[in-house]
């Protein structure tokens, strides 16, 4: 059952709280709808209501009223907000992140005042990028021919009073690894929006028509970028081989497969690089130790399901380096093409992973699907210059007087 756009806007504006409260308000209204037309009791004249809204416009409106402050993990991550200066030594930064158990830090211009201690009302920010622990370690291991590589990712901060729709715009256009959240009146970062936290929030829309119309489609119906370009190594290759492939191919993970059967047995992720520093023997013997042996060093006890679910939710927006809630290297997350997008999103949320390998019935890898690939399906058309519109929000953009031209969103006159 549908309602008109004006009614949807009234509900999301009037209802308090985050996505769950707004969803419940809409579902309640749908369960007890008003008649399709109003009748003037005096004249007996039927007054038609406004036309029903399409799913794309409703979803855009819904997401544009979900405040960033309601995203899981935002209030739990101040201890992981670290800022380093452009002139600092790489070795010192690696040591600091490892000791503080933080997976990455913002990079600030060395000439700017410290944004964590200095109050400013400037609309600009002093951050020039975001650098991850894993990228720095990979860079130092491949220091030779790759010494000139650019190590840090772009950074695009958002304010706490901005919305989930704004975050999805950034993810689709600029593809940052994380989105810093700043105070309303200054550039001080108070937390981060991660892809995992956005996934948790989006899944709370399950049951709403405009979400389910996309999420209930099988993965085979989507055309994800590069999902068939799997990077893999054999189980008898070395840790050094895996590290080199991670850096050279710029991928989030490399699949580990049995040479005899081609069956997936594990993976090495960029986030696993810290393990090289946790054990001197592994680091020293990385040229000789097989990657199969490496993926089995993670032998920590399995967490209780309730503890795991709660911990994964709380840490969804934090940048923990040694994350005990993520999947083990020898237990990679997998899906099949017949699975729906919603099932894949739930799979990643439950296992706190940012990617899933697509496998066939025999366990052979056919593709890789990242969390970013999934989230972009709910974002406005990608601003990539190779794309001239289309996608889930194309109709909504046109109705709001906007379009995509030469890779840029422009307002129609």
Please check the confidence at residue 383 and state whether its pLDDT lies above 50. Answer: no
Q: Which of 225-229, 251-255, 306-310 has the lowest mean pLDDT?
A: 306-310
Question: Quick one: pLDDT band at residue 98, thresholds 50, 70, 90?
Answer: confident
The pLDDT of 64-74, averaged and rounded, is 73
219-376 and 74-206 share a CATH fold: yes
Yes or no: is domain 219-376 CATH 3.10.580.10?
yes
Tokens coding 180: 């810093």
Nearest to 316 by CA among 135, 75, 106: 75
* 218 beta partners: 340
Q: Is the pLDDT of residue 216 over 80?
A: yes
pLDDT at site 187: 79
The contacts of residue 204 (CB under 8 Å, 6+ apart) are 19, 20, 23
Look up tokens 């130790």; give the residue: 289
Strands 253-257 and 232-234: parallel
317 pLDDT above the threshold of 90: no
Residue 37 is predicted with a pLDDT of: 44
The whole-angstrom distance between residue 125's C-alpha and the CA centroid of its chain comes to 23
pLDDT score recorded for residue 148? 39
pLDDT value at position 390? 39
Q: Enumerate residues 6+ apart whose C-beta is below 8 A from 332.
A: 253, 255, 264, 266, 267, 357
pLDDT tens-place string over residues 254-278: 999 999 999 999 999 988 877 877 7
Task: Express each pLDDT in 342-358 by its tens digit.
Answer: 999 999 998 889 999 99
Domain assignments of the chain as residue spans, ordered by start: 5-53, 74-206, 219-376, 386-413
Which of the pair, 396 or 215, is modelled with greater confidence?
Answer: 215
pLDDT of 218 reads 95
Question: What is the arithmetic mean of pLDDT over 100-123?
Answer: 66
Residue predicted with more confidence, 401 or 186: 186
Give the pLDDT of residue 88. 83
| pLDDT score for 145 | 40
Which pLDDT does position 150 carry in this prediction?
A: 41
Which has more pLDDT, 330 or 394? 330
CATH 3.30.2020.10 for domain 74-206, yes or no, is: no
Rounded Cα–Cα distance for residues 210 and 55 (Å): 4
Q: How far apart are the first and last CA of the chain?
A: 34
Q: How far apart are CA 170 and CA 157, in angstroms?
A: 10
Nearest CA to 132 out of 168, 80, 79 is that of 80
Whose tokens are 């690089």? That residue is 273
Which residues on neighbouring strands pair with residue 260, listed in sequence order?
none
- Residues 389 and 381 sit within 8 Å (Cβ to Cβ): yes
pLDDT of residue 8: 57
Give me the pLDDT at residue 261, please: 95
Average pLDDT over residues 291-319: 61
Type and span of the H or E element at 180: strand 179-182
The residue to which tokens 């689709």 are assigned: 172
Assigned token pair, 43: 């004249």
Kindly write down the DSSP assignment for every residue of 191-229, as one continuous string.
Answer: EEE-HHHHHHHHHTTTTSHHHHHHHTSBGGG---TTTT-
The predicted pLDDT at position 313 comes to: 47
* Mean local confidence (pLDDT), 275-290: 79
Window from 196-205, 219-228, 338-347 with minimum mean pLDDT:
219-228
Q: How confident is the model at residue 221 (pLDDT cuts 50, 70, 90)?
A: very high
Residue 333 in tokens: 């997350």
pLDDT at residue 138 tops 50: yes
pTM of this structure: 0.66
Mean pLDDT of the chain: 73
**Average pLDDT for 322-339:** 87
Min mean pLDDT across 158-162, 312-316, 344-348, 366-370 is at 312-316
Q: What is the DSSP letter of 43?
A: T
């Amino acid at each position: 059952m549908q309602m008109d756009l004006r009614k949807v806007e009234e509900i999301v504006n009037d209802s308090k709280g985050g996505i769950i409260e707004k969803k419940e308000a809409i579902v309640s209204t749908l369960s007890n709808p008003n008649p399709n037309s109003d009748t003037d009791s005096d004249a007996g004249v039927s007054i038609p209501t406004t036309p029903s809204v399409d799913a794309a416009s409703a979803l855009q409106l819904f997401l544009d009223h979900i405040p960033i402050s309601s995203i899981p993990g935002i209030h739990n991550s101040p201890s992981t907000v670290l800022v380093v200066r452009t002139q600092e030594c790489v070795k010192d930064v690696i040591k600091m992140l490892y000791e503080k158990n933080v997976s990455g830090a913002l990079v600030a211009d060395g000439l700017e005042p410290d944004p964590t201690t200095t109050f400013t009302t400037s609309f600009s920010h002093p951050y020039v990028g975001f650098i991850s622990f894993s990228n720095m370690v990979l860079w130092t291991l491949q220091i030779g021919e790759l010494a000139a590589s650019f190590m840090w990712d772009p950074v695009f901060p958002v304010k706490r009073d901005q919305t989930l729709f704004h975050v999805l715009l950034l993810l689709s256009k600029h593809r940052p690894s994380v989105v810093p959240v700043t105070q309303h009146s200054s550039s001080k970062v108070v937390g981060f929006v991660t892809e995992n936290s956005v996934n948790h929030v989006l899944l709370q829309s399950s049951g709403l028509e405009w979400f389910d119309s996309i999420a209930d489609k099988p993965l085979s119906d989507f055309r994800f970028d590069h999902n068939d370009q799997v990077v893999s190594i054999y189980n008898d290759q070395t840790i050094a081989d895996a590290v080199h492939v991670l850096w050279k191919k710029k991928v989030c993970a490399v699949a580990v497969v049995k040479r005899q059967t081609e069956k997936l047995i594990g993976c090495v992720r960029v986030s696993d690089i810290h393990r090289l520093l946790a054990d001197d023997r592994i680091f020293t013997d990385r040229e000789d130790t097989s990657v199969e042996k490496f993926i089995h060093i993670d032998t920590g006890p399995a967490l209780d399901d309730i503890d795991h679910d709660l911990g994964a939710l709380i840490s969804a927006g934090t940048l923990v380096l040694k994350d005990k809630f993520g999947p083990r290297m020898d237990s990679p997350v997998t899906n099949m093409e017949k699975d729906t997008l919603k099932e894949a999103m739930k799979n990643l949320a439950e296992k706190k992973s940012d990617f899933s390998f697509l496998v066939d019935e025999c366990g052979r890898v056919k593709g890789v699907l990242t969390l970013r690939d999934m989230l972009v399906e709910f974002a406005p058309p990608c601003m990539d210059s190779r794309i001239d519109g289309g996608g889930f929000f194309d109709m909504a953009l046109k109705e709001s007087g906007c379009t995509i031209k030469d890779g840029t969103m422009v307002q129609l006159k």
